[in-house]
Structure 1
């Protein structure tokens, strides 16, 4: 009899536990749905009440390090206000515009701490966007949150938002990060004719001849066929992938040119080549000192005073030839 009562009691306990488990799961499911709905509502909300096809005629920002201003010309192209001739890549401003328009709050704080607590009493960064109609919108950025997001507010409102870091990090770009970098022609055995490499102590010329039957290129140095020479093969590979990696100085002073080693370059390369369907053309590039980070070299091309950088491994053979010539 006692055993039967014990079993009944245990069964009752199990029923209660099952009910509590169901209730807990139900509450958790409701809370999860509530949070999902809240997140969806935030995702559907934009900080700015603008049309998604809104366009801006001017954008300026201060990221705490630099203050940059941009505007559109009559053709709708972006330019840097301080120097309209600067080769600005408008992609960055188009991207910035879209990020401003699509800015979603991850959290909205209407009743919270003081603006000082969020770093918004004296904002660390700001962005002003001017719509085509002349309306100005100013975004102020404060401290970061524990997950790397930012506190932000509009200049004409005390509502504080928590927003993702995307827009704020996009504002970290300096003007040279936005420069349009020119392409270096692609040099192959099919279009190369002559490559001249001139250094302080060496001056050598390599001729390139395309095979009549198989089209394979032959490299000639003096009277010798050096196609299979290890150094020549490495040079051909460098030429095929040569490119500028960054804009370093758009309008360099004579002092900057000297500092970068381009007053007396380590090597000057002149390439004679034939682009598809064109007459023979010349490309000339000089390489100076190693960059400050040691990852590349300063360089510039004929007809352009801008100083660029090239990757270290893209000119190693070129520099070796300029220093030591072509050895057997």
Structure 2
């Protein structure tokens, strides 16, 4: 190897060492940035709150039985941290924020008794919020006052002062997550928009009952098996209830197979398909799968279309439908 070749190798080695050092520096900077972002979620939430123009970035709510955490997005919407795809109706979150911002003590006990005497050693509810400036505010609730309309509380972890607040915020913290869900809206099913109704009872081999509508400018005639059943009382009751049908509440957002089985979806009591054409729209199909009655007897478990979520439909709006599913129009 000549001295020129050795010098070239030396120069190339120096260049490679410089490039390697520069690469390590860049990777180190990116690692620190990534680490800081992971280690400081409050900073990320605060940035989102500032972008959204919100006073609060995140909330953690303990109801006495469950803890729910929420974060704001840059577009101003709030998400449930446990499942960011959950269709959250954030009106409850905004109400809680307003109550927290306006929180004013009815009384301040600057020389309180022990926390145990106010049941603040085992709180009945609490809230912790991170503001857009990354400061935090927290309220911990103890027992109710004698009149039952207010509660003892501490703020920001300071046990030297006990406050008495109206229980409005406390009551808001009791809202379960499924009561914060944006429920799907069922289509408006009027007699004029419905083309056909198919109702199948339990069992895969059960023969569905089909009601077909014949519309004219002046009236609608309903046929079943070629027979005119327009005047049938069950048919008329069914049409009235379909027009009023709506989802009462969510029962289970992401049910397990066991939960779905318990609710009766292995062999549902009714499978309903309503073909309809909304005004100005195209023909669509609403599919309802109706399972078991819920224990309180106020409704039945149901699914909408391909959605696996289990909802509750009120019993009063399902009576004619379930009668037809069980025994046809003659039942």
> What TM-score comes out, normalization by structure 2 length?
0.79
Which one of 238, 243, 253 corresponds to residue 240 of structure 1?
A: 243
The aligned residue for residue 37 of structure 1 is none
Give 1:225 deviation, angstroms.
2.1
Unaligned runs of 5+ in 2: 1-52
In structure 2, how many angstroms separate the alpha carbons of the residues matched to 1:98 and 1:83? 24
On the 8 A contact 2:64/2:123 being kept in 1, the answer is: no
Question: Which runs of 5 or more structure 1 residues have no equivalent in the other structure?
Answer: 1-52
Name the structure 1 match of 2:99. Answer: 99
Name which of 167, 172, 182 aligns with 1:170. Answer: 172
Per-residue CA deviation, residues 140-189 of structure 1 (Å, 9 max, x unaligned), is 10110111110112024332221111111111122112111111111001
Q: In the alignment, what sits opposite 1:83?
A: 83
Aligned residue among 216, 241, 244 for 1:211: 216
Q: Which moved more, 1:116-125 or 1:271-280?
A: 116-125
Q: Is the 8 A contact 2:112 2:161 kept in 1?
A: no
Distance 1:233 1:196, change over 3 A: same
> Could you tell me which of 179, 182, 197 is aligned with 1:180?
182
Determine helix, strand or coil for the equivalent of 1:206: strand
- What is the rounded CA distance, in whole Å, between the counterparts of 1:89 and 1:289 in structure 2? 27
Q: Where does residue 22 of structure 2 map in the other structure?
A: none
For structure 1, which segment, 237-246 or 149-158, has the greater mean C-alpha deviation from structure 2 after superposition? 149-158
Root mean square deviation, CA, Å: 1.6
Structure-1 separation of matches of 2:133 and 2:170: 25
Q: 1:272 aligns with which of 272, 275, 279?
A: 275
With 303-312 and 200-209 compared, the bigger mean Cα shift is at 200-209
Quote the residue 1:197 is aligned against. Answer: 199
What does 1:45-194 correspond to in 2, within 5 Å? Answer: 55-148=55-148, 149-157=150-158, 158-194=160-196
Equivalent in 284, 288, 296 of residue 285 of structure 1: 288
Deviation, 1:238, is: 1.0
Q: CA deviation at 1:78?
A: 0.6
* CA shift for structure 1 position 202: 4.0
Separation of aligned partners in 2, 1:269 and 1:60: 41
Deviation (angstroms), 1:211: 2.7
For residues 233-273 of structure 1, what are the alpha-carbon distances to aligned partners after superposition, in whole Å with 9 as ceiling and x for unaligned? 11011100111111111111111111100121100000000
Query: 2:42 is matched with which residue?
Result: none
Q: Partners in 1 of 2:79 and 2:196 — Cα distance?
A: 39
Residue 116 of structure 1: CA displacement? Answer: 2.4
Kindly indicate whether residue 224 of structure 2 is the aligned counterpart of residue 221 of structure 1.
yes
The range that moved more, 184-193 or 119-128, is: 119-128
What's the offset of the Cα at 1:297? 0.5
Equivalent pair of 2:212/2:224 in contact (CA under 8 Å): yes
